[in-house]
Chain A
């Protein structure tokens, strides 16, 4: 596709349920990022992939959060045993080149997760 695609756009889950959020990056983009954005705040980094390798997961808030990108394209962010504080917008971004910090990141429209 032309841009980064995320699904679902909205997800409502009960506390304690597991959820899976999907990201389809721009074709050919090597780098993929997940961010968490609380209401009225800027995005906060969660994790980063270079192709299929997860090179940085320092932003994942707990071991309930897990991300994968097994074939170096589509990525899934999984949250186990969801809690109310997990409610946020989860943004995925991709960029073309792997090592340079001067590459713009291209964002999807996010998944708005609400935990009841």
Chain B
């Protein structure tokens, strides 16, 4: 299966701390995407990292990709209460349509 698996399933930290979530996968990819989902809402695209990239930044977000280990991590620095959400990694199916395969997600809670 090309489905990504996130780790941990749930994470609870204090506001201001850094949060790290990991995603492992099994097949070759040409890119990996991270999405955020607030409770009762749709998914919001955060960042896309291509297979030839090792690290990418966007504001307080830092994503790394290690294709040799088939893993990616999402780091949120200086967390805020508004970062409380579920975070998913998504892998595009290379052949055929551009459908995304999502993992089960990491549920992140930021405590004030």
A contacts, CB < 8 Å to B: 4, 31, 33, 40-45, 48, 50, 55-56, 59, 91, 93, 95, 99-110
Contacts and interface: CB of A to CB of B under 8 A. Distances in A.
B43 A102 contact: no
B42 A42 contact: no
B59 interface: no
Contacts of B33: 104
A95 B43 CA distance: 13
A88 to B, nearest CB: 14
Q: Chain A: interface secondary structure?
A: loop
B78 interface: no
A42 B48 contact: no
Contact of B98 (A43, A100, A106, A108): A100
Given A48-B97, A101-B92, A43 B102 contact: yes
Contact of B30 (A40, A101, A107): A101
A56 B30 CA distance: 20
Contacts of A105: 43, 45, 100
Contacts of A91: 42-43
A36 to B, nearest CB: 11
A45 B105 CA distance: 15
B43 A107 contact: yes
B97 A106 contact: no
Contacts of B99: 33, 45, 48, 56, 59
Nearest to B47: A104
18 contacts: A31-B98, A33-B99, A33-B100, A43-B43, A43-B88, A43-B100, A45-B99, A45-B101, A56-B97, A91-B43, A93-B43, A101-B31, A101-B92, A102-B30, A102-B48, A105-B45, A108-B42, A109-B40
A59 to B, nearest CB: 7
A113 to B, nearest CB: 14
Nearest to A41: B104
B41 interface: yes
A74 B101 CA distance: 23
